[in-house]
Structure 1
Amino acid sequence: MTLTQLEIFSLVAELRGFTAAATRLGIGQSAVSHAIKTLEQELGVELFRRHQSLVEPSDIGQQLLLRARAMLGLANTLRQEAADARGMRRGTLRIGSFGPTSSMKLLPSILKRFRALHPGIEVHVDEGPDRQVLQWLDERRIDVGFVVLPEERFDTFALMEDQMVALLPAAHPLAAQANLKLGDLCDDPFILTEAGSSELVWRLFNAARLTPNVRYRCSQLLSTLDIVGRGDAVSVVSEGSLPPLDNSRIVMRPLSPPIPRQIGLAVLDRRQASPATLAFIELARALHPV
């Protein structure tokens, strides 16, 4: 069993295909097939179920995939520690990001500075909903991720705090009020933005024993703003994620009582984090002290 075989196995599982994995790795499909076949013969189990052109991990393949990713993560850490001794001239950093707050307001400045300081580190950024980033951390698909705090099962580092706010159509009767309670937003159609703080929004309503009338779920904040601006729904989002608003179509109102939201970085275990990951976290905290 080799690290190359495990890397190919992990990538085939992630991309659900031999051809896609071969393209990503820049090798022939036959080489991918041979690596998987050899690994299956060595382990004595079938790692994938084939469905025409698509493949998916078998039950035992899914179980071994977590181990393989852990081993690949450890190997990457070893390489990075060796690179650190040489001045961190080589290595890889995988970052998970979500929504406008992290992807547009936090990450660009951190990444620009990081690349200037460590040009030899290859950086990969994956973007998805906040809960997806947590899953990527659990599955070791990323080294570090932007998350909504608190997250007790990870080692976390706070970077910024903003407030949750209500979004209303400008012509809505509640737009005349200076602030709103969560209960004020339960009668109208509600839009849930999946990209950023959807889990936090659900927790807020559940804690208040309220149920919003969710009619829309959007993966992008711009879609949320468009639907609210058309007068079709209300929403709760983070103030830090918002671009300048067209006040003729949308109004923002603070919530009462105020509801803060904290954004930070998370790693599965800081003791096992690579030097590149730790350098990224240190730089992020220096640029965005809480």
Structure 2
Amino acid sequence: MTLTQLEIFSRVAELAGFTSAATRLGISQSAVSHAIKSLEQELGVELFRRHQAQVELTDIGRQLLLRARAMLGLAATLEQEAADARGMKRGTLRIGSFGPTSSTRLLPHILGEYRKAYPGIEVHIDEGPDRQVLQWLEERRIDLGFVVLPEERFDTFPLLEDQLVALIPATHALAREQQVRLDQLCHDPFVLTEAGSAEQVSRLFIGAGLRPNIRYRSSQLLSTLETVARGEAVSILAELSLPSATDARYVSRPLAPAVPRQVGIAVLDQRQSSPATLAFIRHAQRLYGQAKPSILR
């Protein structure tokens, strides 16, 4: 069993196909097939079920995938620790990001400084809903992820705090209010965005004993903004997720009482994190440690 075989196995599982894995890894499909076949023969188990162009993990394959990712992560950490001793000239950093807050407001500034200090580190960024980032962390598919805190399952590093705000069509009666209560948002159709903070918004209503009239669920922030702009629904979003350029078709209003949201970085285990990961966290904390939203505008 080699690390190369485990890397190929992990890619095939992630992309659910030999061809996709071969393209991502830059090798031939026959090389991928040979590596998987050799690994299955060595382990004496079937790792995948073949279904024409796609494959799916067997039960034992899913179990071994977690071990394989842990081994690959440890190997990457060892390589980067050696690189760190040489001045961290090379290595890989895998980042999970959710929504505009991390993808467009935080990451560009952090990466700009990080790349100056460590130009040899190859950075991979995966974007998805906040729940997806947490899953990627648990599956060891990423080294670090931007998350909404608190998150007790991981080692976390707070970066900044903003607040949740009500998003209302400009023609709505609530647009004339200076603040909006949760119960005032339960009468109209509600759009719940899953791009970030969806869990916090859901818990907010449950904790208040209220039930919003959820008519829409959107995985993309732009869809939520457009739904509200057309006057079809109201919503709750994080202040920093809103575009810098204003749209006259909707307004945002603070909630009453105010609902803060804290954003930070999470890793599965700080003690096992690579030097490249820890260096990124240091840069992020230096730039944004407990920053106020105004500095990102």
| TM-score normalised by the chain length of structure 2 | 0.96
CA deviations on 1:24-43 (whole Å, 9 max, x unpaired) are: 11111111111101110111
Aligned twin of 2:106: 106
Distance (Å, rounded) in 2 between the aligned partners of 1:255 and 1:26? 50
Aligned twin of 2:145: 145
Distance (Å, rounded) in 2 between the aligned partners of 1:59 and 1:46? 9
User: What are the residue-to-residue correspondences of 1:157-176 with 2, within 5 Å?
Assistant: 157-176=157-176
Q: Is the 8 A contact 1:170 1:247 kept in 2?
A: no
Structure 2 unaligned regions, length at least 5: 291-297
Aligned twin of 1:27: 27
1:263 partner letter: V
- Show structure 1 runs of 4+ deviating over 3 A: 244-248
Q: Please give the secondary structure, in 2, of the residue aligned with 1:152.
A: coil
Aligned twin of 2:293: none
Q: CA deviation at 1:4?
A: 0.4
Distance (Å, rounded) in 1 between the aligned partners of 2:78 and 2:18? 28
2:101 partner letter: T
Distance (Å, rounded) in 2 between the aligned partners of 1:251 and 1:31? 55
Q: CA deviation at 1:251?
A: 1.3
Distance (Å, rounded) in 2 between the aligned partners of 1:172 and 1:196? 25
Distance (Å, rounded) in 2 between the aligned partners of 1:283 and 1:205? 36
Whether 1:184 and 2:169 are equivalent positions in the alignment is no
User: What are the residue-to-residue correspondences of 1:14-163 with 2, within 5 Å?
Assistant: 14-163=14-163
1:252 partner letter: S
Distance (Å, rounded) in 2 between the aligned partners of 1:148 and 1:206? 18
Change (3 A) 1:51 1:211: same
Whether 1:254 and 2:231 are equivalent positions in the alignment is no
Distance (Å, rounded) in 2 between the aligned partners of 1:253 and 1:247? 14
Change (3 A) 1:259 1:61: same
Distance (Å, rounded) in 1 between the aligned partners of 2:272 and 2:210? 41
Q: CA deviation at 1:244?
A: 3.7
Backbone CA RMSD of aligned residues: 0.9
Q: CA deviation at 1:203?
A: 1.1
Report the count of equivalent residues.
Answer: 290
Distance (Å, rounded) in 2 between the aligned partners of 1:289 and 1:150? 15
Change (3 A) 1:246 1:113: closer
1:136 partner letter: W
Structure 1 unaligned regions, length at least 5: none
